[in-house]
Amino acid sequence: MGNAAAAPVLEARNIARHFGAVTALADASLQLYPREVVGLVGDNGAGKSTLLKILSGIVAPSAGEIVIDGRPVVLKRAQDAMDAGIETVYQDLALVDTMSAYQNVYLGREELSANPLKRFFNLVDDRRMRERAREVLDALQVKIPSINVSVKGMSGGQRQCLAIARALLWGRRIVILDEPTAALGVRETGQVLEVIRDLRKHDVSVIIVSHNMQQLMSVADRITVMRLGRSIATRTVKDTEVNEIVGLITGAIPGDSPEARAAEVAA
Amino acid sequence: MQTTTADTPVPATRYGVLERLLRIVWIGPAIAALVIYIFFVIVGGASGFFSVPGTAGWLNTAAELGIIALPIGLLMIAGEFDLSTGSVVGAAAIIVALGTGFYGLPIELTMSMALAMGVAVGCFNAFLVNATRLPSFIVTLASNFILAGTSLGLSRLISGSSNVSLKDAGWAEPIFGSKWMFFNVSVLWYLVAIVLAAWVLKQTRFGNWIFATGGNVDAARRAGVPVARVKLILFIWTAVSAAFVGIMSAVMYNQGNAAQGQGYVFQTAIAAVIGGVLLQGGFGSVIGIVLGTFIYGIVSLGLFYTGWPTDWLATFIGGLLVIAVLTNNFVRELALNRGKKKP
Ligand SMILES: Nc1ncnc2c1ncn2[C@@H]1O[C@H](COP(=O)(O)OP(=O)(O)OP(=O)(O)O)[C@@H](O)[C@H]1O
Ligand SMILES: [Mg+2]
């Protein structure tokens, strides 16, 4: 349930991005409200991934503005986005195969021991990290065989959930997922979607790209449709249906903004 | 057998004793060390392998090797190589011998110079690796040659010889050169190095970063691990340890030789691999590396006690290396695939 009364936690305003002569994004805008899941859809090459990369600080926009909690921000590096509370779960998941689940969840942010002497010697608090990791995974109802075992043997769904759990544990308020279920089986997809739905309870807002409409309708509050580098329409899931979204994607149904229509006529 | 259903809650699988043993990271090198040790006790026991001098012999060898092999192993876990340690040993030894033995400079000064040289070499290696992204194998091979030539050239230029004696190292003598029964003090230093390495690798944040850097650099970087700094510290650690061994040998044997130490280049890497460190990075243990150095020491000294021609040492070690790599691969797969159900 998006909280439309509140101010958006994240806003992308009229973002454009050119790669040489290629216009990946012409004019894309997006709003994300607290505890909301926004689905981002569009045909191949519509510019979804490019928009997400801009929001995670990996690609710089050619024009436009990103606003977080009402303040304009410039995301020059991935770290800037993370500092701003945005966690991106990458397609390749960015897990270290040889390390255990809890180590992966805590990687780069290992907790030091509370004991001052141990702290002085830089000792990490393994037990606490295990406990916290287990808590978070339980809270998200992520099922993995053991948090002490290397993630190498885990399934795609389990790995995806771990990556999401990391975002939660690190106190990120915005989680970005680019086709998180693309490589997963039916049951695993169900598990991941369940975890995404649950993120709301933890005060986290989500942007998710997917080509699976049924799936998106089941997890998202609102859906923003992109076509040819533009965001052409946004619909509340409750008040729309798959056919309308598909029509918007393909162009069978015209978009909302006059520019979008103009672009269509031109194309 | 049905296909894996991942999202059903999996009760903690119970493993048998044997299977649990096989999952210990350093079980391979431990078994190997035991078997090899028993073998040489049986074959070489009569001529004294099992005696105190025999034991001291292989422990001394393992210690000098191990002080360098430990950071080499950690560096390999982080996914990098360092082939420059050999020259650093020689350079450190010749710096101390020339400085104190030839010029009569105070030992603390020349020791500091040798250690500073180690830091410099480590920084140089790390800088090249981090800045150029060239494989460390090539970078450190190059610095090994550059430094070897420089030490030899300078030593000849200054003293007319590649071998310089160091009669009196003053207070450094007992610290680096003393013996107890037949055991060199280097065994104690090795113990210190082991505790340090074990603490860093298993207990600290930095240790976690070492595994992550070697396991998946991109993931580590994205998670905010300062990958370049991890490598820098490890390259410095390795080179400083090599300098330390060079200083120690100069004081212990009362001489420094610019050409000494090249044996360490491959011996340290071999010990680490025999000890179960994954060549591609991301996997290994301090106990394993220590066992690797023990195996190296036991074989090189044990062969001597068997009365067989020691010419065959290299053959033996090479064969061992092949067997070690094969068994380690097997054990590692077991250890990493815990929790994965067979499809
Ligand atoms: N680095 C790049 N250099 C040049 N062109 C690029 C680059 N990245 C994206 N593009 C182009 O920008 C357009 C938008 O690509 P993008 O990956 O954002 O699409 P997408 O909506 O994610 O598509 P898909 O559904 O196939 O993942 C495409 O035409 C693509 O070829
Ligand atoms: Mg894409």
Whether A49 lines ligand 1, by a CB cut-off of 6 Å, is: yes
Chain A partners within 8 Å of B7 (Cβ) = 143, 155, 157-158, 187-188, 190-191
Give the DSSP H or E segment for B244. helix B227-253
| CA–CA min distance A78, chain B (Å) | 8
Asked if the C-beta of A153 comes within 8 angstroms of chain B's C-beta atoms, the answer is: yes
Give the residue-averaged pLDDT of B188-200: 95
- pLDDT grade, residue A246 (50/70/90)? very high
Sign of the dihedral defined by the CA atoms of residues B217, B221, B225, B226, in that order: positive
pLDDT digits (tens, 9 = 90+) for A78-109: 778 888 989 888 766 678 888 888 888 888 87
Task: Using alpha carbons, select from A200, A175, A196, A172 the residue that is nearest to residue A184.
Answer: A196
**Count of alpha carbons within 13 angstroms of residue B303, beta-carbon side:** 14
Nearest alpha carbon, ligand 1 atom 22: A49
CA distance A10 to A30: 8
User: From edge to edge, which strands make up the β-sheet containing A222-227?
Assistant: A71-73, A63-68, A10-19, A22-32, A230-236, A222-227, A37-42, A205-209, A174-178, A86-89
pLDDT at residue B271 above 80?
Answer: yes
pLDDT higher than 50, residue B8 = no
CB contact under 8 A, A123 and B282: no
**Residue B5 — pLDDT band, cuts 50, 70, 90?**
very low
Return the top range by mean pLDDT from A20-24, A156-160, A200-204.
Answer: A20-24
Residue A60 near ligand 1, beta carbon < 6 Å: no
Burial class for A252, CB neighbours closer than 10 Å (0-12, 13-18, 19+):
exposed
Q: Give the range among A60-69, B78-87, B275-284 with minimum mean pLDDT.
A: B275-284
pLDDT mean over A8-24: 93
Q: In whole angstroms, give the CA distance from residue B293 to residue B297.
A: 6
Check residues B94 and A184 and name the one with the higher pLDDT: B94
What is the tens place of the pLDDT at every residue in A172-186? Answer: 889 998 888 877 778
Report chain B's terminal Cα–Cα distance, integer Å. 7
**Residue of B202, B208, B277, B334 best to disrupt the A interface, most CBs of A under 10 A:** B208
Residue nearest (by alpha carbon) to ligand 1 atom 28: A45
Compare A159 and A4 and report the one with higher pLDDT. Answer: A159
Closest alpha carbon to B26 in B316, B272, B320, B301: B272
Average pLDDT value for chain A: 85
Q: Does pLDDT of A75 surpass 60?
A: yes
Cβ contact A182:A91 at 8 Å = yes
Decide if pLDDT at B233 tops 90: yes
Q: d(Cα B284, Cα B69) in Å, to the nearest integer?
A: 12
| Residue A46 alpha carbon to ligand 1 centre in Å | 7
Separation between Cα atoms, residue B285 and residue B272, nearest integer Å? 9
Angstrom distance (rounded) from CA B67 to CA B238:
9
Mean pLDDT, rounded, for B56-80: 95
Give me the pLDDT at residue B23, please. 65
DSSP state of A96: -
Which spans in A67-185 are helix H? 78-83, 101-106, 116-120, 126-139, 156-169
- CATH 3.40.50.300 domain position(s) in chain A: 1-85+173-267
What pLDDT does residue B127 have? 95
Residues whose CB is less than 8 angstroms from the CB of residue A239 and which lie 6 or more positions away in sequence, other chains included:
none
> What value does the mean pLDDT take over residues B45-65?
86
Residues of B in contact with A78 (CB under 8 A): 222
pLDDT of residue A91: 64
Query: Token match 């999952």: residue?
Result: B23
Q: What pLDDT is attached to residue A128?
A: 86
Query: Would you call B66 helix, strand, or coil by DSSP?
Result: helix
Instruction: Give the confidence band of B183 by pLDDT, cuts at 50, 70, 90.
Output: confident
Ligand whose nearest atom lies closest to the CA of A50: 1
For the cut 80, the answer to whether the pLDDT of residue A193 exceeds it is: yes
Question: How high is the mean pLDDT of chain B?
Answer: 86
Lowest pLDDT segment from A137-151, A212-226, B234-248, B279-293: A137-151
Residue B112 C-beta-side C-alpha neighbours within 13 Å? 5
Arithmetic mean of pLDDT, B230-239: 97
Mean pLDDT value across residues B283-301 = 92
Amino acid in the structure at residue A76: K
Chain B touched by A188 (CB under 8 Å): yes
What's the average model confidence in pLDDT over B249-261? 88
Share of chain B above pLDDT 90, in %: 46
Top pLDDT among A166 and A216 is at: A216
Please say if the pLDDT value at position B297 is more than 70: yes
Q: Which two tokens stand for residue B286?
A: 């301090």
Q: Of B284, B187, B245, B205, whose CA–CA distance to B68 is shortest?
A: B245
Q: What is the pLDDT of residue A92?
A: 64
C-alpha closest to that of A95 among A4, A185, A164: A164
Residue A15 has pLDDT above 80, yes or no: yes
pLDDT for position B150: 93
- State yes or no: pLDDT of A265 exceeds 60: no
Which of B216, B332, B333 is best to mutate for the A interface (most A CBs within 10 A)? B216
Token code pair at residue B93: 């030894």
Separation in Å, CA A266 to CA A228, A259, B142, B282: 12, 10, 60, 54
Q: Is the pLDDT of residue A26 over 70?
A: yes
Residue with tokens 């009196």: B168
pLDDT band at B167 (very low <50, low <70, confident <90, very high): confident
Q: Would you say A65 and A38 are in contact if contact means Cβ atoms under 8 Å apart?
A: no
| One CATH from 3.30.70, 1.20.950, 1.10.3470, 3.40.50 for B23-335 | 1.10.3470
Mutate to test the pocket of ligand 1, among A40, A48, A91, A181 (most ligand atoms within 8 A of CB): A48
Q: Does B44 or A16 have the greater pLDDT score?
A: A16
B183-198 core/surface letters (b: 16 or more CB in 10 A; e: else): bbbbbebbeebbeebb
- Cα first-last separation, chain A: 36
Q: Which residues of B206-230 are buried (b: 16+ CB within 10 A; e: fewer)?
A: bbbbbbbbbbbbebbbbbebebeeb
Q: Which residue has the higher pLDDT, B50 or A51?
A: A51
Q: What is the pLDDT of residue A63?
A: 93
Higher pLDDT, A263 or B303: B303
Does ligand 1 have an atom closer than 6 angstroms to the CB of A44?
yes
Q: Would you place residue A267 in the very low, low, confident or very high pLDDT band (cuts 50, 70, 90)?
A: low
Distance CA B264, CA B252 (A): 17
B140 pLDDT higher than 90:
yes
pLDDT band at B302 (very low <50, low <70, confident <90, very high): confident
> DSSP assignment, residue A111?
P
Looking at residue A264, its pLDDT comes to 56
Q: Distance between CA atoms of A91 and A183, rounded to whole angstroms?
A: 9
In Å, what is the CA distance from A80 to each residue of A85, A189, A211?
Answer: 9, 30, 29
Query: Pairing between strand A37-42 and A205-209?
Result: parallel
* Cβ atoms of residues A152 and B340 within 8 Å: yes
Compute, in degrees rounded to 10, the torsion defined by CA atoms A143, A144, A148, A150. Answer: -150
What integer pLDDT is reported at residue A266 of this predicted model? Answer: 57
Report yes or no for ipTM above 0.90.
no
Contacts A90 to B, Cβ<8 Å: 222
Q: Are A152 and B336 in contact (CB under 8 A)?
A: yes
Contact at CB, A122 and B282, closer than 8 angstroms: no
Query: How do beta strands A63-68 and A71-73 pair?
Result: antiparallel
Tell me what the mean pLDDT of segment A36-45 comes to.
94
A153 vs B6 pLDDT, higher one: A153
Q: Please answer yes or no on whether B12 and A191 come within 8 Å at the CB atom.
A: no
So where are chain B's domains? 23-335
Lowest mean per-residue pLDDT among A8-22, A76-90, B231-245: A76-90
pLDDT at residue B341 in the model: 42
- Assign domain A1-85+173-267 to its CATH superfamily: P-loop containing nucleotide triphosphate hydrolases (3.40.50.300)
A45 lines ligand 1 (CB under 6 A): yes
